[in-house]
């Protein structure tokens, strides 16, 4: 029987990522063919340095995913998502994202209810490089994120992520359960590793440099064992320690995969999304005839590697950016020129040109369909810089004008609930 999507979940920040529509890992190890003068045959084929991308698309319109990317964790006992302790109005800035671990438990095929976890996948030390928010009049709101990493591991055992908190003194942390061994170098390897994705306050730690891994009796065999991570320097008081491994302890499949729709909407459409442009309290008004809104934020990164390490040791951050498009269908000519005036700062009685450097705030509020007095989250670009649209006229079709904009600082914020 095939492996079905219904038997796979994604866990991040101690909670299942809700409302997932697609999730996939792409990339491969590049292979270099080695040849030599005087030899017609291939001498060898040497693996290069991999760089993988994990992409997940969700209909979740809360701030949970962004909270996860900023290092927040949930409470799996009661099904609370990452950031559940954060107060309403908490701001998550794009540039404050961190390294994260993602685990993917797979259910044994025992039907839609019950069962246990029989296998899984670990994505250790992945870094967010792109987030895209798409909202339309008649489409379900979507949120997709790309994470970049240099390794992944499959195992026929439950994948788990554990958390610990530093006290400024303790250097050694032991896994709660026996960890299954990974044979370094493949079938011919004689050394083993059991723990992956060791993070300290969202920073990827390097084995042999920032910490060492050990098991009772040494590491000469591939038997599962309780595994100790010993840091070179004691983690500071309240420092967050995260690590992943495949456990030999049986794990039950979670019965409730997603938050109840009374707690979190199954999906949100354009009728519950409001777009504003301008300074709050003065000229911030809804754009007339808004059809769609899209925001894409990116972080330009490159994997850091060093000799003696198979996995990446970190990522160089070259810069961030945030761009978007607000598409409107003006109800009449005055509404179109009113929109031009608000995004350019030019009076409606003047001529509008093709070039604009005027900056205005852009704010998008996602309302709870069951109670529109409740704002689920707010997207905010403090320094949106719009360009006047072209004229995309088409016969027998209402004209939609795409107003493209950039964040002058290359960033955006997401707020839990309303923006203070």
pLDDT tens across 377-402, in order?
Answer: 999 999 999 999 988 888 888 888 99
Three-state DSSP at 418 gives: coil
**The pLDDT value given to residue 368:** 93
**The pLDDT value given to residue 13:** 85
Those residues with Cβ within 8 angstroms of residue 286's Cβ, 6 or more apart along the chain or in another chain: 274, 275, 276
**The pLDDT value given to residue 265:** 85
Residue of 49, 25, 47 whose CA lies nearest to 34: 47
**The pLDDT value given to residue 35:** 92
Q: What percent of the chain has pLDDT over 70?
A: 93
Q: What is the band of 177 on the pLDDT scale with cuts at 50, 70, 90?
A: very high
pLDDT at 113 over 60: no
Over residues 143-165, the mean pLDDT reads 94
Q: Which residue has the higher pLDDT, 394 or 183?
A: 183
Report pLDDT digits (tens) over 246-297: 999 988 876 555 666 656 888 899 999 999 998 876 666 658 788 999 999 9
Report pLDDT digits (tens) over 203-254: 999 999 999 999 987 766 788 999 999 999 999 999 999 999 999 998 887 6
**The pLDDT value given to residue 364:** 95
Q: What is the chain's mean pLDDT, rounded? A: 89
Beta strand segments in 329-407, E? 360-368, 371-387, 401-407
**The pLDDT value given to residue 222:** 86
Residue 221 backbone phi and psi in degrees, to 5: -120, 165
**The pLDDT value given to residue 182:** 94
List C-alpha distances in Å: 178 to 27, 181, 244, 363.
Answer: 31, 9, 12, 48
Over residues 99-127, the mean pLDDT reads 83
**The pLDDT value given to residue 111:** 54
**The pLDDT value given to residue 48:** 86
Q: Are 368 and 376 in contact (CB under 8 A)?
A: yes
**How far is the C-alpha of 199 from the C-alpha of 130, rounded, in Å?**
21
Q: Which residue has the higher pLDDT, 7 or 110?
A: 7
CATH 2.40.30 assigned to domain 270-416? The reply is: yes
**The pLDDT value given to residue 284:** 63
Report pLDDT digits (tens) over 314-344: 898 899 999 999 999 988 888 899 889 999 9
Token code pair at residue 291: 């059809």
DSSP per residue, 202-228: TEEPPBTTTEEEE-TT-SSS---B--E
**The pLDDT value given to residue 169:** 96
């Amino acid at each position: 029987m095939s492996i079905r999507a219904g038997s796979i979940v994604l866990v991040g920040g101690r909670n299942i990522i809700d409302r997932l529509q697609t999730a996939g890992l792409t990339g491969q190890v590049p292979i270099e063919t080695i040849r030599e003068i005087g030899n017609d045959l291939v001498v060898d084929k040497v693996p290069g340095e991999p760089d993988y991308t994990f992409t997940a698309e969700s209909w979740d319109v809360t701030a949970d995913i962004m909270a996860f990317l900023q290092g927040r964790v949930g409470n799996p006992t009661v099904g609370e998502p990452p950031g559940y302790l954060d107060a309403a109005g908490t701001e998550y800035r794009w540039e404050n994202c961190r390294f994260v671990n993602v685990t993917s438990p797979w259910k044994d095929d025992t039907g839609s209810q019950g069962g246990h976890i029989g296998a899984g996948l670990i994505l250790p030390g992945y870094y967010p490089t792109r987030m895209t928010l798409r909202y339309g009049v008649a489409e379900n709101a979507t949120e997709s994120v790309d994470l970049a990493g240099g390794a992944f591991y499959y195992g026929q055992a439950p994948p788990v992520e554990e958390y610990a908190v530093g006290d400024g003194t303790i250097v050694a942390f032991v896994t709660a359960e026996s960890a299954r061994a990974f044979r370094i170098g493949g079938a011919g390897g004689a050394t083993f590793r059991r723990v992956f994705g060791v993070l300290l306050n969202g920073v990827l730690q390097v084995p042999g440099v920032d910490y060492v891994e050990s098991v009772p009796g040494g590491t000469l065999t591939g038997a599962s064992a309780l595994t100790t991570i010993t840091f070179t320097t004691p983690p500071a008081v309240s420092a967050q320690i995260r690590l992943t491994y495949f456990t030999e302890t049986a794990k039950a499949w979670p019965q409730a995969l997603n938050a109840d729709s009374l707690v979190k909407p199954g999906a949100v459409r354009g009728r519950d999304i409001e777009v504003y442009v301008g300074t709050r309290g003065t000229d911030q008004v809804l754009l007339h005839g808004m059809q769609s809104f899209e925001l894409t934020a990116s972080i330009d990164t490159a994997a850091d590697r060093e000799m003696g390490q198979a996995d990446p040791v970190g990522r160089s951050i070259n810069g961030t950016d945030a761009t978007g498009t607000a598409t409107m269908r003006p109800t009449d000519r005055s509404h179109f020129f009113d929109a031009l005036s608000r995004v350019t700062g030019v009076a409606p009685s003047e001529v509008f040109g093709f070039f604009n450097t005027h900056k205005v705030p852009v704010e998008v509020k996602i309302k709870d369909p069951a109670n529109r007095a409740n704002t689920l989250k707010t997207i905010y670009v403090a320094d949106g810089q719009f360009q006047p649209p072209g004229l995309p006229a088409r016969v027998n079709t209402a004209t939609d004008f795409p107003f493209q904009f950039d964040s002058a600082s290359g960033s955006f914020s997401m707020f839990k609930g309303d923006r203070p």
